[in-house]
Chain A
């Protein structure tokens, strides 16, 4: 029913039957002698490379942004030299440095686990990112249950973190891993519950459909404006997302003044940068997810105006606007996370647990109930 509704809103099916990989393959002038499986394999590889490149650039931009934001919050300028204009190439320079650094493994470390851990962390977070549509027309993996995929894959990073902490053969790392495990388990529940509230309102697990459902009111029929229970749900989501992404004030697994980087104490060079990447990728993930389910996803007055001017949803300009809109919303969220990090002190582990289990979980349940009741009432009254 929802899909039909969404299709009706957009005037065409929200999932065109092709994804970015297939498009690339169709676009390439390939001679016919190449066997089909080679084409498919090559296409997937190419698509993955593009995907990784896009995401990596975004993450690098996040890192640069964090430095600039923290710098300006702290009355500094942040990076200014690398690349010339406001140190735009700082992340690239750091990346080169990290690649060239010695990759050290402690003598007592469990080498296998030590090697696998960063891969799991990075792999799962990029895996979760596959579920994101870039616009109504562009996407990498078709996911009707996109939210589930994102939540499931993004919490897999915890396994990598615990592995890293255990394999490092350092007590401080183990502490970091323990804290990560405890914290993520505690906050997975309110995170999922708080997401349930907009899911009730929007009636879909698919991100594209969720966005399409919010396209009314000249692109401003955002979920958060349609149901009073979604604002508290969003606040819970913000707190839970901060805890999930290990961002201050919930950066206990890293806690540089207590555990001195926690689970990644023993990592160096490019392996360490995987964890670093994961942190920013997770921030992007959580911000964009919030944008999709509370703040209209691709929708904004700009898309409203384009639609009013008769532009097709599948056109290139419209897709670019959609992509830009969702990225902008995501970066607003990321900026908020950075702002909080550079302002607030860190909470203590028992306070984290208390907040997660005793306050956020019941509150999130209440929000779900409230949002669902509100929707039911609306149905009763208006239909």
Chain B
């Protein structure tokens, strides 16, 4: 017979049938029952499973629909990014940064560039480059959050918002294509600045995009985030209390969804963010437990939705202050980085992307460590799963918004 319901070895059924048992309920009432023991079922969610957003494997132990335990298995997309970083020149490594969080390649470029720049004390980054970096990084953040929005809708079963989100993302990608020629792996932000100036009319089109997106954003919010079924599916699901979020080292929207008001862009500013925040260009959305409990999946999701709007405001501010000027600092053809070590963390769409670079003064790095936010954020899933339903486990994984390229690097 074809029966693969259980991975666990068959138990002695005689011993699992207990005779008539008696227990006292909390009401004082006595209850008799036959306790029929059933064994839990272990199912593999992944490596090929749409809910894992890539090639991750979650081993789930279920009692019917109820999840009783889970274990995350990573490494299916491990591409040795850190080892490659020790073997290629500084600038050559830049395209590899595109490939860990492939949904936010601009942010990765920026993180790596800033880490290397931290080792080059005399290097000054021109103001136009700073603003172009900020604009592109924020646009990329919107694109990334749009994917998070759309795919989370898919996880919950709403297919249409995904296509709406991708329509806007397509526009952002077209904008990126105009400025750097690539649609996914940009390598646009270089050590010392950016490699290409905005083509004529590009900034104007970005402004137009912001106008259109603001209107669309309201529709998207109402369509999915405030949908009753969606709220029912995500509120009170996968609750991460504040202390647990901190203990697990969560960053980004995962941390803010739990009510911790911390954003590297505001609290440890880099690029033009400090100035923008002073000018009141953006706020930091924090989860409030509005629809359920503080730190549930809905809060995390909604933080991302709101962040898209804040990014639009930031882009608008940058468009207002940007001026003509050089776009890259004085960088030699073959970059030699002075000896030293630096760790720079920036706010990626998924949390803190950290780069630890160690140079001995040569053409290649001694150590190039990448601290991907998804890697730390997904660790909390094992903790959240037990006690939820199978459908909730999908909602929980989706709410962490992981990119497997980054967890596995």
Q: Do A and B bind each other?
A: yes
- Residues of A within 8 Å of B4, CB to CB, are 108, 169-171
Give the Cβ gap from B320 to chain A, nearest Cβ, in Å: 31
Between-chain CB contacts (< 8 Å), 13 pairs: A73-B160, A74-B160, A74-B163, A110-B1, A170-B4, A174-B5, A255-B391, A260-B49, A343-B158, A345-B233, A346-B157, A347-B232, A348-B391
* A351→B232 contact, CB < 8 A: yes
Nearest CB of chain A from residue B222's CB, rounded to whole Å: 12
A169 contacts B2, C-beta separation under 8 Å: yes
Question: Which chain B residue has the least Cβ–Cβ distance from A106?
Answer: B2
- Contacts A75-B163, A108-B2 given; does A345 touch B41 at CB 8 Å: no
A249 close to B (CB within 8 Å): yes
Q: Which of A326-379 contact B (CB under 8 A)?
A: 342-351
Interface string of A242-269 (1 = CB under 8 A from B): 0000001101100111101000000000
Q: Tell me, yes or no, whether B227 is within 8 Å of chain A by CB.
A: yes
Judge whether A64 is part of the interface by a CB distance below 8 angstroms. no
Please determine whether B50 and A349 come into contact, CB atoms closer than 8 angstroms.
no
Given contacts A109-B2, A169-B4, contact A258 B158 (CB under 8 A): no
Q: How many residues does chain A have at the interface if contact means C-beta atoms less than 8 Å apart?
A: 37
Cα distance A19–B391 in the bound complex, in angstroms: 49
* Nearest CB of A to B217, in Å: 16
Minimum distance in angstroms from A336 CB to a CB of chain B: 15
Name the CB-closest residue of B to A111: B2
Instruction: Collect the chain A residues with CB atoms within 8 Å of residue B155's CB.
Output: 257
A167 contacts the other chain (Cβ, under 8 Å)?
yes
The docked-state distance in angstroms from the alpha carbon of A73 to that of B164 is 10
Selected contact of B157 from candidates A178, A257, A349, CB within 8 Å: A257
Q: How far is the CB of B102 from chain A (nearest CB, A)?
A: 21
Q: Which residues of chain B from 39 to 60 have any CB-CB distance to chain A below 8 Å in the complex? A: 41, 43, 49-51
Complex-state Cα separation, A167 to B4, whole angstroms: 10
The 5 A-B residue pairs with the shortest CB-CB distance in the complex, in nearest-first order: A346-B157, A345-B158, A169-B2, A74-B163, A345-B156
Complex-state Cα separation, A346 to B398, whole angstroms: 14
What per-residue 1/0 map shows which CB atoms of B267-287 lie under 8 Å from chain A?
000000000000000000000
Q: Which residues of the other chain, A, contact B43 by a CB distance below 8 angstroms?
A: 171-172, 175
- A interface secondary structure, majority: loop
| B65: contacting residue among A110, A172, A342, A349, CB under 8 A | A349
**Contact with A344, one of B51, B229, B389, B391 (Cβ below 8 angstroms):** B229
Q: A252-B391, A257-B51 are in contact. List 8 more A-B contacts (CB 8 A).
A: A171-B43, A172-B43, A257-B154, A257-B157, A343-B223, A345-B227, A351-B232, A351-B233
The distance from the CB of B319 to the nearest CB of chain A, in whole angstroms, is 27
A75 touches B164 (CB 8 A): yes
Q: A257's contact among B1, B163, B389, B394, by CB below 8 Å, is which?
A: B394
Chain B neighbourhood of A255, CB < 8 A: 157, 391
A12: Cβ under 8 A from any B Cβ: no
Instruction: Decide if B345 is an interface residue (CB 8 Å cutoff).
Output: no
CA distance A291 to B167 in the complex (A): 37
- Which chain B residue shows the least CB distance to A256? B50
Pick the most buried of A73, A252, A348, A350: most chain B CB atoms within 10 A of its CB.
A348
CB of A101 closer than 8 Å to a CB of B: no
Alpha-carbon distance between A178 and B66 when the two chains are bound, in angstroms: 13
Within the complex, the shortest CB–CB distance from B398 to chain A, in Å, comes to 8
Q: B406 interface residue, CB < 8 Å from A?
A: no
Could you tell me the distance between the alpha carbons of A298 and B390 in the complex, rounded to whole angstroms? 45
**Which residues of the other chain, A, contact B224 by a CB distance below 8 angstroms?**
345
Q: Say if the beta carbon of A76 comes within 8 Å of chain B.
A: yes
B335 interfacial contact with A, CB 8 Å: no
| Distance A42 CA – B229 CA, assembled complex (angstroms) | 52
